[in-house]
Structure 1
């Protein structure tokens, strides 16, 4: 009798037995995270649970002390196709203190595809679409220094989208963002999922993104305590005004090659 075919899509992220330490302190203690093609996965947990360290280890910002990482079936140390990955970091300004317009910052996200060649029409169109997706077309020529916190976050997301990635990794995209920007970000993400993007999100509460989440992984003290349907919010994480800051985030290095 023939066996049924495996219909599970291939994983775009596979983190297996991951261990990591920051400042000599263990942060990840054998974490497993898998994101399949077309899936939206939320990484949840309290302060210091290891969520941001986990996603930063996926893109090489934090080296593992044990375990393994694969992107699109390739070991991280051999992975070179960074144009397939869009990364939105946690709590940073869009221009990093450098004078720049919205369009210039978003266009920098296209560098993973253009390399050293001059931008072509397709590149300019991709940048324009990314800006339009986050609702900032009317601010494209404005300096990012004139934007609100929510608009800064939208610029960072547009920068990630400019490369037309297959995988989006977003670290606390809703943190410190007003409700109007949260709804725009949710709509933008919904459109990306509709065209087949895979997504890994670090969140402290699901909020407007809840309808998009296929699966939730909950971390506690660097260990996975839940992997399945999103759990109901309890305690402080259920409060609309709850904010979430990772005490270890500032000490983690930045992979500038991926952020450009």
Structure 2
């Protein structure tokens, strides 16, 4: 892992409407790192990743991608983005292959997919376990399957940086495990990952660093908070049912 920052936010402030959502956050993600953005709803997690990809303008501070100021960054084929599923559905009749092929267009000349592009699409579908549904309409898929297709679309571009906004939200356990395995392979091949998560869940073993936001500020940046595991919901005191020591309940108030 080199020290080269892939994402760099310095003193970033951002507003949505007239509301100040990010209040001067610093965040660095280095090559090969897997960083989780955690925090309660409304803490600014999604806004932070959307400033990185340029969907939300910053009112102060600097955003850089691969060492280039974001406003001058043009090499978007290096970045894969998986939005929150609710914003991506759209109800357009398309097949699984068509949706995933859209992820290749940033690399295709004049929008024409070549043999290498079709192979990359097949590989991405294989990775997320959806090759057998390639010709199906996306409208026929379950929530978890739809999410896998969105992730395949991002992976089809073979990005160096993968940004995912709550990839596990509303996804059944089987799909969560497939996604965790898929991500593990990407990380092993050197992909840098920034994830917005509500809880670490099955991705916990992959996370190098957790950045916890609260009210648009960074509350914690370091090792993932241990209390936030499979059965801990941010902001709740939680007594583990298998804790027979009679000790104090394990508090996970870090994110409340």
Question: Which TM bucket (shorter chain)?
Answer: 0.7 to 0.9
Match of 1:18 in 2: 12
Mapping for residues 14-53 of structure 1, pairs under 5 Å: 14-53=8-47
- How far 1:67 moved relative to its partner? 0.4
What is the rounded CA distance, in whole Å, between the counterparts of 2:39 and 2:233 in structure 1? Answer: 14
1:222 aligns with 2:216: yes
1:85 aligns with 2:79: yes
Q: Which deviations, in whole Å up to 9, do the C-alpha atoms of 1:47-91 show, x marking residues without a partner?
A: 100000000000000000000100000000000000000000012
Match of 1:183 in 2: 177
Q: Which deviations, in whole Å up to 9, do the C-alpha atoms of 1:90-115 show, x marking residues without a partner?
A: 12375521111000000001011004
Given the alignment, which residue of 145, 157, 160 partners 1:151?
Answer: 145
Q: Which deviations, in whole Å up to 9, do the C-alpha atoms of 1:180-211 show, x marking residues without a partner?
A: 00000000000000100000000010000000
Q: Any conservation in 1 of the 2:200–2:230 contact (CA below 8 Å)? A: no
What is the rounded CA distance, in whole Å, between the counterparts of 1:52 and 1:81 in structure 2? Answer: 22
Match of 1:73 in 2: 67
Partner SS, residue 149 of structure 2: helix
Count of aligned positions: 235
Unaligned segments of structure 2, at least 5 residues: 237-256
Match of 2:125 in 1: 131
What is the rounded CA distance, in whole Å, between the counterparts of 2:88 and 2:133 in structure 1? Answer: 14
Q: Any conservation in 1 of the 2:200–2:229 contact (CA below 8 Å)? A: no
Q: What TM-score, normalized to structure 2?
A: 0.88
RMSD value over aligned CA atoms?
Answer: 1.9
Unaligned segments of structure 1, at least 5 residues: 1-6, 243-260
Change (3 A) 1:172 1:106: same
Partner SS, residue 183 of structure 1: helix
Change (3 A) 1:153 1:147: same
Match of 1:111 in 2: 105
Using CA pairs under 8 Å that are at least 6 residues apart, name the structure with larger relative contact order, 1 or 2.
1
Mapping for residues 164-179 of structure 1, pairs under 5 Å: 164-179=158-173
What is the rounded CA distance, in whole Å, between the counterparts of 1:239 and 1:57 in structure 2? Answer: 26
What is the rounded CA distance, in whole Å, between the counterparts of 1:188 and 1:116 in structure 2? Answer: 30
